[in-house]
């Protein structure tokens, strides 16, 4: 039997090796596929870099498992012998002999069959029973080699646009589609200049920053801009850092700046309400709050505290100040605080009653006391969920209220020290609110700068790719035209269909770009962009731009009909009739001003310093960009425009 | 005598038998082998072929060489069951009384040639086939055992189907083999003419008697079958079932009803004889493959599509044997 078993063993190993090779290819292929997917995910920043090694290890392990499982695969000897029989024409002798040999009590006929098998065992052909399938393995090996040759180098070569993928997760709204960029960024002259402007703006914000977090954020942004300028980082890294900064900015905004505007408005309204009285002592504070100048308000509160501390305040003055602060505090009191105050008062009353009556305390009162406790707990939870700005407002209200109460209470006891301390705390709170407002403004400005930076990187990347694609080509030429126009030049080419080319000619206008700025009544320091148009010298606001010929200073009055195909969305159907209108600032009780400002390149009358005007307009535009849905690619034109006309 | 000697004796005896038959029947080795296999396996054979191919001659020669009682029944539409089985007739016994005595019919023989069996009415066919299965005949209340060995060779003509009664599938199942008798080749035809047109036909010697046949039959049934070989037979039979997962496309498409377990039995029994006829001590997959076609071709019922497209059961079986591998 050993002779038969030996032949069968040879067939078995041939099968096992082939199976091992086949499984090596199949499992290895599956592992390679998995590895490829992981590499793609890593490149897309969906997974950390370590996963590349994990994927490689898993692929290798899979291949090894496949090969080993093939080598240790159990194969039925009788079946293998049957293969030998079939190939050698042995009439199932070997398989039958092996099967009969396993019988516990073989019959004489079975024994004879075993003997018969031994006479033909030399005719067995293991190589024919399990021939090597070289052709299959060669094809499989070639496919595997090609797959490895493609996938492994892709770990080092293939690079995804990091900014885009990261930004999808971080800032889904308004993020510009990033281009495929690799290696150091080559910036042209205009882009370098733009980057310098960005750097300057970021440095300015950084210098003005008070809040540590905002300062840290602006430091990081400044470092990024500097690194880009020096060419120290690749586009991938730049996009990754930009995405991280955007994420941090969003987190900060959510945490700190929410409801800030509401709080400032509440302060203003409270101050206005109190203004109806004629108290002189708190006038400075109220005026500052009305103007939403929190720093000034803080100073006035500190001044009152100093005066109180030095004992320079008469009893009458103190009374008036205390009443003013009390009223202000009452005006600032939020609904939640009111409810809390009432609930606390009821609870205290019920507790006193409980102490007083003890055994006679009714069940109804007990339930009411429990309810009040629950309400207070609920209100406390609500307070925890308030934004930082609202919490600060509540603290301010509390401090003012306490200070007023203390002042009224201590009048007899001459305890000015404590009251002054409370007033200083209120001033500190006002300062903090001011810092937060500043921080929010700086962060918002930084957000705009980051958008510019992203757009700059995208354009640089597109240019690096050879300016292929409609957007890249068109965007570049549009940018050049834009630079030329923003620089005060009249372009020889008005962009073909770009804009509205069929308007009527104007009536001999001077080609100046006019803007009208009105200020609200009552001394509001709020800028309102009334009209931003290009028209005749009188500053008549006209939407659109006329069909301008090369070198012609005249501009059309009518509305154009063309549509720039590069712009997103449907064309604007201006099928409404327009009429000229004049909007003037309304005269109110407070300070009011109206001014006409000509372009920076123009000489003429100006009622305000150009630097101030530029600052005002930039902020208004930045607000407007935030509010409106403007494609990121177009925002950069607006920002770039204001960069180019900045005061130098 | 040990096993090997008995097997050798078996081979010698059957070779002598085949040689004797070969004196009359020229060529047709497959048919001769098939008939001998069926004889030693204890079954019955259905020979199908056009007239004049030597079917009847083959059976007669076999009977002559075996020293067995032979009878021939020519099936016609007016043949009655009692014409085959026998009937009771009124005779006077020695005492002068009239008694009913059973007169045995031609079925009481060792080798029966049922010539053109499809020409008899179903009633008569049924009586014949019942006797084949039960190996006994019941007349009135009396049951009569048939002789051993009892070997029926039925013939049918695939042409001239007018006025015939094709055997129902249930009765076809009683035949171990269905053998197709083919035309002889030109050389074989020359030899046939040389032998049969002389004054004296070749003389057939008796090489085996009834006892010898029964001994060989017992020995054949002792041949062992390994499990993997039996598994091969089972897989072939299962593949004839259109609902089976292992059935090839052609089987699923053209077969209505596949082979019954009796088909698997026929394969194994015939394979045993086949193995020992070749002097081997165990059944091989090749034996199974060889006997599968004659053992199964009449047990497979084609569906309408198969009949309409005239797909033969042999071609279906060829496909099945091509798909089902010996080594599994």
Q: How far is CA B155 from CA B54, B64, B106, B300, in A?
A: 11, 19, 16, 19
Please give the radius of gyration of chain A, using alpha carbons only, rounded to the nearest integer.
41
| Cβ atoms within 10 Å of A620's Cβ, excluding its own | 16
Query: Six-digit token pair at A564?
Result: 């720039």
Judged against a pLDDT cut of 50, whether residue B197 lies above it is answered with yes
Return mean pLDDT, chain A: 71
Please list, in sequence order, all residues whose beta carbon lies within 8 angstroms of the beta carbon of residue A565, skipping any fewer than 6 positions away. A497
**Model pLDDT, residue A604:** 53
- The residue that leads in pLDDT, A156 or A142, is A142
- Please, are residues B75 and B120 in contact by the beta-carbon 8 Å criterion? yes
Q: How far is CA B324 from CA A325, B236, B237, B277, B317, in A?
A: 102, 7, 10, 25, 10
| B104 SS3 class | strand
| A64 SS3 class | helix
- The residue that leads in pLDDT, A408 or B16, is B16
Strands (E), B121-259: 136-139, 142-145, 151-156, 177-180, 255-257
Mutate to test the interface with A, among B276, B281, B285, B325 (most CBs of A within 10 A): B281
Interface check for B158 against chain A (CB to CB < 8 A): the answer is no
CA distance A630 to B75: 103
Burial of A384 (0-12, 13-18, 19+ CB in 10 A): exposed
- Please, are residues B255 and B301 in contact by the beta-carbon 8 Å criterion? yes
- Please, are residues B70 and B109 in contact by the beta-carbon 8 Å criterion? yes
| pLDDT (average), residues B313-328 | 87
A112–B4 C-beta distance less than 8 A? yes
> Distance of alpha carbon B254 from its chain centroid, rounded?
26
- Please, are residues B276 and B7 in contact by the beta-carbon 8 Å criterion? yes
pLDDT tens across B216-237, in order?
A: 999 999 899 999 999 999 999 9
- Please, are residues B227 and B268 in contact by the beta-carbon 8 Å criterion? no
Sign of CA dihedral A559, A565, A567, A568: positive
Q: B138 phi and psi, to 5 degrees?
A: -115, 120
Q: Dihedral of the CA atoms A179, A183, A186, A191 (nearest 10)?
A: 50
Judged against a pLDDT cut of 80, whether residue A340 lies above it is answered with yes
Task: Provide the 8-state DSSP code for B119.
Answer: G
Q: Model confidence at A568, in pLDDT bands (50, 70, 90)?
A: low
Q: A190 phi and psi, to 5 degrees?
A: -65, -40
**How, if at all, do strands B142-145 and B255-257 pair?**
unpaired
Q: How many CB pairs under 8 A join A and B?
A: 81
| pLDDT (average), residues A571-594 | 63
**Model pLDDT, residue A535:** 37
- The residue that leads in pLDDT, B84 or A262, is B84
Q: Considering CB atoms only, which of A79, A108, A113 is closest to B282?
A: A113
Contacts of A107 in chain B (CB under 8 A): 222, 224
CA distance A54 to A44: 16
Q: Which residue has the tokens 């039960």?
A: B134
Interface check for B7 against chain A (CB to CB < 8 A): the answer is yes
A83–B281 C-beta distance less than 8 A? no
Judged against a pLDDT cut of 70, whether residue B305 lies above it is answered with yes
Task: Provide the 8-state DSSP code for B143.
Answer: E
Mutate to test the interface with B, among A111, A112, A120, A126 (most CBs of B within 10 A): A112
Q: Considering CB atoms only, which of B4, B228, B281 is closest to A82?
A: B228
**Model pLDDT, residue B191:** 82
- Among A109, A108, A83, residue whose Cα is nearest residue A95: A83
Residue of B nearest to A96 (CA): B226
Judged against a pLDDT cut of 80, whether residue A37 lies above it is answered with yes
B284–A112 C-beta distance less than 8 A? no
Percentage, residues of chain A above pLDDT 70: 65
B226–A96 C-beta distance less than 8 A? yes
CA distance B317 to B278: 24
Judged against a pLDDT cut of 80, whether residue A437 lies above it is answered with no
CA distance B16 to A642: 118
**Model pLDDT, residue A418:** 60
- The residue that leads in pLDDT, B248 or A361, is B248
Q: Model confidence at A528, in pLDDT bands (50, 70, 90)?
A: very low
Question: Mind telling me how many Å the CA of B25 is from chain A's nearest CA?
Answer: 29
Judged against a pLDDT cut of 80, whether residue A387 lies above it is answered with no
Q: How far is CA A635 from CA A460, A495, A624, in A?
A: 17, 19, 10
Q: How far is CA A439 from CA A10, A35, A72, A266, in A?
A: 81, 46, 69, 19
Task: Provide the 8-state DSSP code for A360.
Answer: G
Question: Mind telling me how many Å the CA of A26 is from chain B's nearest CA?
Answer: 23
- The residue that leads in pLDDT, A285 or A345, is A345
**Model pLDDT, residue B295:** 94
| pLDDT (average), residues A451-469 | 69
- Among B244, B247, B255, B248, residue whose Cα is nearest residue B311: B255
CA distance A97 to A95: 5
A112–B3 C-beta distance less than 8 A? yes
Judged against a pLDDT cut of 70, whether residue A596 lies above it is answered with no
**Model pLDDT, residue A552:** 41
**Model pLDDT, residue A255:** 67
Contacts of B275 in chain A (CB under 8 A): 91
Please list, in sequence order, all residues whose beta carbon lies within 8 angstroms of the beta carbon of residue A422, skipping any fewer than 6 positions away. A399, A402, A403, A406
Judged against a pLDDT cut of 60, whether residue B273 lies above it is answered with yes
pLDDT tens across B112-142, in order?
A: 999 888 888 988 888 888 888 888 888 888 8
Contacts of B326 in chain A (CB under 8 A): 82, 85-86, 92
**Model pLDDT, residue B55:** 83
Q: ipTM value, please give it.
A: 0.82
For residue B99, list its beta bridge partners.
B91
| A468 SS3 class | coil
- Among A527, A535, A482, A532, residue whose Cα is nearest residue A507: A535
| pLDDT (average), residues A205-225 | 82
Judged against a pLDDT cut of 80, whether residue A216 lies above it is answered with yes
A99–B287 C-beta distance less than 8 A? no
Query: Six-digit token pair at B100?
Result: 């009913």
Percentage, residues of chain A above pLDDT 90: 0
| Cβ atoms within 10 Å of B197's Cβ, excluding its own | 8
- Among A104, A91, A75, residue whose Cα is nearest residue A8: A75
CA distance A307 to B211: 145
Q: Model confidence at B175, in pLDDT bands (50, 70, 90)?
A: very high
Please list, in sequence order, all residues whose beta carbon lies within 8 angstroms of the beta carbon of residue A379, skipping any fewer than 6 positions away. A336, A339, A340, A343
Domains in chain B, CATH or no CATH each: 3-77+108-207 (3.40.50.300), 223-323 (1.10.8.80)
Sign of CA dihedral A496, A500, A504, A507: negative
> Distance of alpha carbon A59 from its chain centroid, rounded?
36
Interface check for B227 against chain A (CB to CB < 8 A): the answer is yes
CA distance B134 to B175: 13
A residues 78..137 contacting B (CB < 8 A): 78-79, 82-83, 85-86, 89, 91-93, 95-96, 99-100, 107-113, 116
| pLDDT (average), residues B139-161 | 85
**Model pLDDT, residue A555:** 47
Question: Mind telling me how many Å the CA of B145 is from chain A's nearest CA?
Answer: 32
B residues 268..297 contacting A (CB < 8 A): 275, 278, 280-287
Q: Model confidence at B266, in pLDDT bands (50, 70, 90)?
A: very high
All structural domains of chain A with their residue ranges: 2-157, 260-435, 514-543+584-648
CA distance A482 to A448: 19
DSSP B266-322: HHHHHHHHHHHHTT-SS--HHHHHHHHHHHHTTT-EE-HHHHHTT--HHHHHHHHHH
| pLDDT (average), residues B303-325 | 90
Query: Six-digit token pair at A164?
Result: 């885009």
For residue B87, list its beta bridge partners.
B103
**Model pLDDT, residue A409:** 66
């Amino acid at each position: 039997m050993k002779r038969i078993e030996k032949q069968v063993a040879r067939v078995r190993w041939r099968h096992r090796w082939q199976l091992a090779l086949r499984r090596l290819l199949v499992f290895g292929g599956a592992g390679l596929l998995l590895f490829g997917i992981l590499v793609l995910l890593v490149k897309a920043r969906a997974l950390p870099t370590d996963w590349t090694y994990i994927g490689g290890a898993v692929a290798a392990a899979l291949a090894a498992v496949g090969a080993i499982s093939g080598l240790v695969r159990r194969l039925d000897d009788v079946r293998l012998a049957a293969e030998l029989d079939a190939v050698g024409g042995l009439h199932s002798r070997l398989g039958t002999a092996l099967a009969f040999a396993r019988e516990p009590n073989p019959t004489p006929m079975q024994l004879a069959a075993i003997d018969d098998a031994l006479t033909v065992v030399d005719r067995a052909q293991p190589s024919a029973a399990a021939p090597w399938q070289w052709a299959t393995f060669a094809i499989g090996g070639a496919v595997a080699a090609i797959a490895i040759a493609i996938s492994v180098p892709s770990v080092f070569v293939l690079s995804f646009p990091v900014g885009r993928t990261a930004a999808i997760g971080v800032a889904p709204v308004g993020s510009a589609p990033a281009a495929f960029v690799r290696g150091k960024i080559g910036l042209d002259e205009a882009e370098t200049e733009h980057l310098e402007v960005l750097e300057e703006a970021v440095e300015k914000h950084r210098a003005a920053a008070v809040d540590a977090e905002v300062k840290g954020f602006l430091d990081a942004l400044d470092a990024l801009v500097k690194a880009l300028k020096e060419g120290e980082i690749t586009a991938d890294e730049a996009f990754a850092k930009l995405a991280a900064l955007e994420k941090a900015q969003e987190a900060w905004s959510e945490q700190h700046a929410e409801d800030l505007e509401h709080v400032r408005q509440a302060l203003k309204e409270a101050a206005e309400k109190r203004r109806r009285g004629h108290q002189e002592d708190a006038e400075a504070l109220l005026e500052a709050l009305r103007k939403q100048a929190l720093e000034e308000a803080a100073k006035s509160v500190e001044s009152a505290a100093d005066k109180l501390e030095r004992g320079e305040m008469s009893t009458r003055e103190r009374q008036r100040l205390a009443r003013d602060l009390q009223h202000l505090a009452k005006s600032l009191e939020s609904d939640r605080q009111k409810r809390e105050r009432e609930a606390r008062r009821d609870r205290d009353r019920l507790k006193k009653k409980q102490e007083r009556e003890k055994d006679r305390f009714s069940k109804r009162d007990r339930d009411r006391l429990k309810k009040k406790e629950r309400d207070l707990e609920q209100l406390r939870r609500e307070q925890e969920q308030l934004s930082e700005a609202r919490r600060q407002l509540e603290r301010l209200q509390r401090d003012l209220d306490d200070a007023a109460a203390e002042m009224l209470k201590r009048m007899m006891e001459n305890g000015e020290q404590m009251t002054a301390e409370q007033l200083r705390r209120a001033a500190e709170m006002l300062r903090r609110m001011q810092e937060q407002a500043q921080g929010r403004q700086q962060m918002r400005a930084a957000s705009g700068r980051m958008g510019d930076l992203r757009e700059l990187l995208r354009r640089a990347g597109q240019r690096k790719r050879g300016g292929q694609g409609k957007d890249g080509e068109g965007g570049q030429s549009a940018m050049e035209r834009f630079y030329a126009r923003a620089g005060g030049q009249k372009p020889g080419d008005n962009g073909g269909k770009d804009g509205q080319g069929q308007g009527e000619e104007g009536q001999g206008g001077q080609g100046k770009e006019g803007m009208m700025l009105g200020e609200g009544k009552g001394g509001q320091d709020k800028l309102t962009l009334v009209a931003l148009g290009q028209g005749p010298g009188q500053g008549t606001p006209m939407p659109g731009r006329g069909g301008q010929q090369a070198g012609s200073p005249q501009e059309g009055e009518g509305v154009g009909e063309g549509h720039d195909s590069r712009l997103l969305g449907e064309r604007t159907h201006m099928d409404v009739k327009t009429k000229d209108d004049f909007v003037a600032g309304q005269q109110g009780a407070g300070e009011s001003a109206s001014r006409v400002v000509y372009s920076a390149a123009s000489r003429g009358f100006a009622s305000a310093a150009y630097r101030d005007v530029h600052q005002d307009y930039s902020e208004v535009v930045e607000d407007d960009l935030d509010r409106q849905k403007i494609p990121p690619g177009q925002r950069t034109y607006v920002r770039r425009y204001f960069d180019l006309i900045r005061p130098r | 005598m040990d096993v090997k000697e008995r097997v050798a004796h078996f081979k010698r005896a059957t070779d002598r038998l085949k040689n004797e038959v070969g004196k009359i029947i020229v060529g047709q080795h497959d048919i001769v082998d098939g008939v001998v296999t069926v004889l030693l396996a204890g079954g019955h054979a259905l020979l199908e072929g056009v007239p004049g191919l030597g079917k009847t001659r083959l059976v007669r020669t076999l009977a002559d060489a075996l020293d067995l009682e032979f009878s021939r029944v020519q099936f016609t539409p007016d043949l009655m069951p009692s014409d085959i089985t026998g009937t009771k007739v009124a005779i006077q016994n020695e005492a002068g009384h009239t008694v009913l005595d059973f007169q045995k019919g031609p079925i009481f023989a060792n080798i029966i040639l049922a010539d053109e069996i499809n020409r008899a009415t179903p009633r008569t066919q049924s009586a014949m086939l019942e006797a084949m299965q039960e190996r006994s005949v019941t007349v009135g209340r009396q049951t009569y055992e048939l002789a051993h060995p009892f070997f029926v060779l039925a013939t049918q003509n695939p042409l001239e189907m007018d006025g015939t009664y094709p055997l129902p599938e249930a009765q076809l199942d009683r035949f171990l083999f269905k053998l197709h008798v083919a035309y002889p080749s030109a050389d074989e035809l020359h030899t046939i003419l040389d032998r049969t047109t002389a004054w004296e036909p070749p003389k057939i010697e008796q090489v085996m008697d009834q006892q010898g046949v029964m001994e060989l039959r017992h020995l054949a049934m002792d041949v062992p079958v390994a499990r993997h070989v039996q598994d091969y037979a089972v897989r072939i039979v299962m593949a004839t079932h259109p609902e089976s997962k292992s059935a090839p496309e052609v089987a699923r498409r053209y077969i209505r009803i596949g082979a019954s377990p009796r088909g698997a039995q026929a394969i194994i029994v015939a394979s045993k004889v086949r193995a020992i006829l070749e002097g081997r001590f165990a059944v091989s997959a090749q034996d199974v493959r060889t006997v599968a076609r004659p053992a199964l071709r009449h047990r497979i019922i084609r569906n309408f599509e198969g009949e309409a497209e005239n797909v033969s059961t042999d071609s279906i079986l060829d496909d099945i044997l091509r798909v089902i591998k010996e080594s599994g």
